[in-house]
């Protein structure tokens, strides 16, 4: 039966996305709870229902063709879906059966920070929609299985959560400890296909068949078709989930080898899920001896002494080998963590400093990596030279370039501001920015101005809510206010929680924090409700900021509202399209809002 007949709609614009998203999340929540209760039969039933659910197909197409940042990137077939008729047609013909065959990937390369190139495999739009559908059906089950110590590519978790987990683990230990700062070499490119398929054993045959197709479809580089024997290509919608499935269990197996006296699993627990539950319990019991924190292919292992470190290094290569992986010799370090001997993780430096009145106590902290600070300053320096900002006599061009520079700096600051000692790196960046701006703008004056005159004219201190912050100005155009004087605290995600557990209040607040400080304030002021439709702002829904007076330059808190993306569209286009309560998802339109400093364009 066709999707449009079941939904009783003939147009993409008439779809009630609130009903679609809530219906899918309800089933995902049921699957997550069934997985926690070891009800495998119910999990499989819900997975089959989601694969056949027209709402799931519509949502997967919407995410791939409207919401994803790569929606305008074509695969080998050079097809990009932009019109609503094409979106509805794709949702109608989606059928994950024996006849489905994946097309080869388009190989492209992006530069890495070390100067090398990272290979990406770009699937076709249709294959991406199928991958999004399978991800909807698989993710809740695996969220119930994944270790509490893994943070990479998981909903509701981020890099700062992983850093806070490392910091907490180091802080609670007395004396010097041994740390393994490990990195897996070519993780995405070398994962064993059969190992992942064995982990998925028992899942729907259609899902297994589709995943095997994505593994073996190959890629086209310079017009030549290459076969793929290992790895999950970076660039696919489902690749991060498959990578996590392949890496799943590293800490479980590590603790199993370290436990001298093994405790039997609870007999009341069902097979496999009972194994997972008992191992998770033992992981917590032995965490004081060895701490394990993982973000994708980067992980930190904290050992209370050298004996544990040697035992870990004995078994870790074998654990990775059966997954087709190995440690990177260049990036893996063994560190005796004490004052003066630090290590790096996810762009931060973890260090131990003396503290206290007499310097006999130690403080564990982490701050932005100085190498990252200078690399970013170099990027700004090259950017200012390239655009020759003051060659633009048009003030609108000046504003445009200043806005771009502001977004670059704010994006960098928004990532590093959560460090325990963020100001340690921010002060270095401030000095670099002052030097860069002084050299770039000294030609504005006919005579060479002094640095003091420049600072008074272009760089000033302003007070905001009782704190002094830097305000860099280009003539009459301010390109940013950067708070570098106060460190911001981050509350780590609760260890055993998942967005699929149904606690919309907790995850709504966390999503608001992740979206940006403005969104967090609006979420709390509005009590977590959308003022347009008066319904809850759920974490799985897209949010946007709405300007009450329709002036996008007026970003005062009193003029802002946090609303659903669908409600935002309705608010702006209801009169023009005469749809009343409809929620148009237009094929082409201008940008209507921003979230967390990032431009958000309508689909």
pTM of the predicted structure, to 2 decimals:
0.81
Q: Determine the pLDDT at residue 35.
A: 94
Asked if 13 and 124 sit in the same domain, the reply is yes
Q: Are 216 and 257 in contact (CB under 8 A)?
A: no
pLDDT at position 146, please? 92
Task: Average the pLDDT over each of 48-62, 397-411, 490-504 and give the range with the smallest value.
Answer: 397-411
3-state helix, strand, coil in the chain (%, to 5): 45, 20, 35
The distance between the two most distant Cα atoms of the chain, rounded to a whole number of Å, is 84
Q: Which of 211-215, 343-347, 470-474, 595-599 has the least mean pLDDT?
A: 595-599
Per-residue pLDDT averaged across 220-234, rounded?
86
Task: Indicate whether 133 belongs to any domain.
Answer: yes
Token output for 554: 């007026």
552-555: Cβ within 8 A, 24+ apart = 552/593, 555/518
Element of type H or E holding 367: strand 361-368
Domain boundary among 207, 223, 245: 245
**51 and 173 inside one domain:** yes
- 161 and 13 housed in the same domain: yes
What is the pLDDT at residue 226? 87
Q: Which of 139-153, 374-388, 518-532, 588-602 has the highest mean predicted lDDT (pLDDT)?
A: 139-153
Domain assignment of residue 222, yes or no: yes
Residues 157, 44 share a domain: yes
415-439 mean pLDDT: 77
| pLDDT interval class at 260 (50, 70, 90) | very low
- What pLDDT is recorded for position 285? 52
The per-residue pLDDT for 534 is: 79
Among 196, 216, 245, which residue terminates a domain? 245
In a domain, 493, yes or no: no
Phi, psi of 171 (to 5 degrees): -65, -35
The rounded radius of gyration (Å) of the Cα atoms in the chain is 26
**42 has pLDDT over 90:** yes
Residue 30 confidence (pLDDT) above 60: yes
- pLDDT recorded at residue 139: 95
Among 283-297, 355-369, 462-476, 558-572, whose mean pLDDT is lowest?
462-476
- pLDDT one-digit tens code per residue, 306-358: 888 888 999 999 999 999 999 998 889 998 887 678 899 999 999 888 776 66
Query: Can you read off the two tokens belonging to residue 557?
Result: 């808190």
Return all residues near 218 (Cβ < 8 A) that are at least 6 apart.
104, 105, 225, 226, 227, 228
In a domain, 300, yes or no: no
pLDDT digits (tens, 9 = 90+) for 445-463: 555 556 666 666 555 555 5
pLDDT band at residue 258 using 50, 70 and 90 as cut-offs: confident
Q: Percent of the chain scored above 90 by pLDDT? A: 26
User: How far apart, in whole angstroms, are the C-alpha atoms of residue 192 and residue 51?
Assistant: 26
CA distance 382 to 585: 39
Q: What is the mean pLDDT of residues 191-204?
A: 92
Both 580 and 431 in a single domain? Answer: no
Lowest mean pLDDT among 65-79, 222-236, 450-464, 485-499: 450-464
Q: Are residues 86 and 161 in the same domain?
A: yes
pLDDT(44) > 90 = yes
Instruction: Encode pLDDT of 130-176 as tens digits.
Output: 999 999 999 999 999 998 889 999 998 989 999 999 998 888 887 77
Contact 335, 343 (CB under 8 A): yes
**What pLDDT does residue 317 have?**
92
Domain membership of residue 23 as a residue range: 3-245
What pLDDT score does 138 carry?
95
Both 401 and 527 in one domain: the answer is no
Name the band, by pLDDT with cuts 50, 70 and 90, for residue 33.
Answer: very high
* Res. 496: pLDDT tops 80: yes
The average confidence (pLDDT) of the chain is 78
Instruction: Name the least confident of 162-176, 206-220, 248-262.
Output: 248-262
What number is the average pLDDT over the span 226-233? 86
Backbone angles phi, psi at 494, to 5 degrees: -60, 135
Q: Does residue 208 share a domain with residue 101?
A: yes
Lowest mean pLDDT among 375-384, 410-419, 432-441, 493-502: 432-441
Total tally of structural domains belonging to the chain? 3
What's the confidence (pLDDT) of residue 175?
74
273 vs 162: CA distance, rounded Å = 25
CA–CA dist 218, 229 (Å, integer)? 9
β-pairing verdict for 467-474 and 477-482:
antiparallel
- 570 found inside a domain: yes
Of 217, 245, 273, which closes a domain? 245
Residue 71 in domain = yes
What pLDDT score was predicted for residue 129? 94
pLDDT tens digits, 532-572 = 887 778 777 778 888 887 777 677 888 888 888 878 877 77
Domain assignment of residue 255, yes or no: no
pLDDT for 574 beyond 50 = yes
For 287, counting Cβ atoms within 10 Å of its Cβ (0-12 exposed, 13-18 middle, 19+ buried), the class is: middle
Q: Are residues 450 and 557 in the same domain?
A: no
Asked if residue 288 is part of any domain, the answer here is: no
Assess whether 518 and 583 both reside in one domain.
Answer: yes
- Does residue 407 have a pLDDT over 80? no
Q: What is the pLDDT of residue 395?
A: 55
The Cα-based distances of 326 to 184, 234, 247, 550 in angstroms read 6, 18, 12, 55
At 441, the pLDDT band (50, 70, 90 cuts) reads low
Say whether both 468 and 521 belong to one domain: no
Q: Distance (Å, rounded) from C-alpha 232 to C-alpha 28?
A: 25
Q: Judge if 541 and 423 occupy the same domain.
A: no
């Amino acid at each position: 039966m066709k999707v449009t007949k079941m939904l009783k709609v003939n147009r993409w614009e008439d779809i009630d996305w609130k009903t679609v998203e809530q219906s899918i999340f309800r089933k995902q929540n049921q699957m997550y709870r069934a997985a926690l209760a070891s009800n495998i039969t119910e999990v499989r039933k819900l997975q089959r229902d989601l694969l056949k659910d027209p709402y799931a197909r519509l949502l997967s197409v919407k995410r791939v063709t409207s919401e994803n940042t790569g929606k305008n990137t074509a695969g080998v077939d050079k097809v990009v879906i932009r019109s609503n008729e094409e979106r509805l047609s794709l949702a109608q013909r989606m059928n994950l059966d024996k006849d489905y065959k994946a097309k080869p990937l388009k190989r492209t390369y992006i530069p890495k920070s070390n100067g090398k190139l990272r290979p990406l495999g770009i699937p076709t739009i249709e294959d991406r929609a199928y991958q999004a559908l399978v991800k909807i059906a698989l993710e809740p089950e695996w969220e119930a299985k994944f270790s509490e110590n893994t943070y990479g590519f998981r909903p509701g978790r981020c890099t700062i959560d992983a850093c806070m987990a490392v910091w907490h683990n180091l802080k609670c230990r007395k004396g010097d400890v041994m740390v393994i700062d490990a990195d897996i070499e070519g993780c995405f490119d070398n994962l064993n296909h059969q190992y992942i398929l064995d982990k998925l054993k028992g899942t729907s045959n259609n899902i297994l068949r589709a995943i095997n197709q994505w593994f073996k479809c190959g890629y086209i580089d310079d017009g030549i078709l290459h076969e793929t024997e290992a790895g999950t290509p970076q660039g696919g919608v489902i690749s991060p989930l498959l990578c996590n499935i392949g890496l799943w269990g590293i800490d479980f197996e590590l603790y199993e080898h370290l436990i001298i006296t093994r405790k039997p699993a609870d007999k009341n627990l069902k097979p496999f899920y009972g194994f997972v539950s008992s191992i998770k319990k033992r992981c917590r019991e032995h965490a004081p001896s060895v701490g394990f924190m993982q973000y994708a292919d980067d992980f930190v292992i904290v050992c209370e002494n050298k004996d544990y470190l040697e035992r870990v290094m004995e078994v870790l290569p074998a654990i990775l080998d059966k997954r087709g992986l190995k440690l990177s010799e260049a990036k893996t370090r063994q560190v005796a963590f004490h004052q003066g001997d630090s290590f790096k993780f996810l762009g931060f430096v973890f260090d131990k400093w003396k503290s206290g009145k007499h310097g006999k106590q130690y403080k564990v902290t982490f701050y932005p990596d100085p190498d990252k600070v200078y690399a970013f300053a170099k990027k700004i320096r090259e950017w200012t030279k390239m655009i020759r900002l003051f060659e633009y006599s048009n003030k609108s061009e000046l504003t445009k370039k200043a806005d771009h520079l502001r977004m670059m700096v704010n994006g960098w600051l928004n990532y590093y501001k959560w460090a325990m000692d963020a100001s340690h790196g921010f002060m270095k960046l401030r000095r670099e920015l002052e030097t860069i701006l002084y050299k770039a703008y000294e030609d504005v004056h006919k005579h060479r101005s002094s640095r003091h005159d420049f600072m008074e004219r272009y760089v000033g201190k302003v007070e905001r809510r009782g704190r002094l912050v830097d305000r860099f100005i280009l003539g009459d155009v301010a390109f940013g206010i950067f708070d570098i004087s106060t460190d911001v605290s981050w509350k780590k995600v609760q260890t055993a929680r998942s967005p699929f557990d149904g606690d919309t209040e907790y995850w709504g607040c966390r999503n608001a924090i992740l979206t940006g400080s403005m969104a967090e304030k609006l979420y709390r002021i509005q009590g977590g409700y959308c003022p347009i439709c008066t319904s809850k702002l759920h974490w799985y829904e897209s949010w946007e900021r709405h300007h009450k007076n329709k002036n996008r330059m007026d970003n005062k808190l009193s003029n802002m509202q946090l609303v659903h993306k669908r409600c935002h569209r309705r608010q702006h286009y209801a009169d023009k399209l005469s749809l009343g309560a409809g929620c148009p998802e237009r094929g082409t339109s201008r940008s209507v809002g921003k979230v967390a400093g990032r431009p958000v364009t309508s689909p």
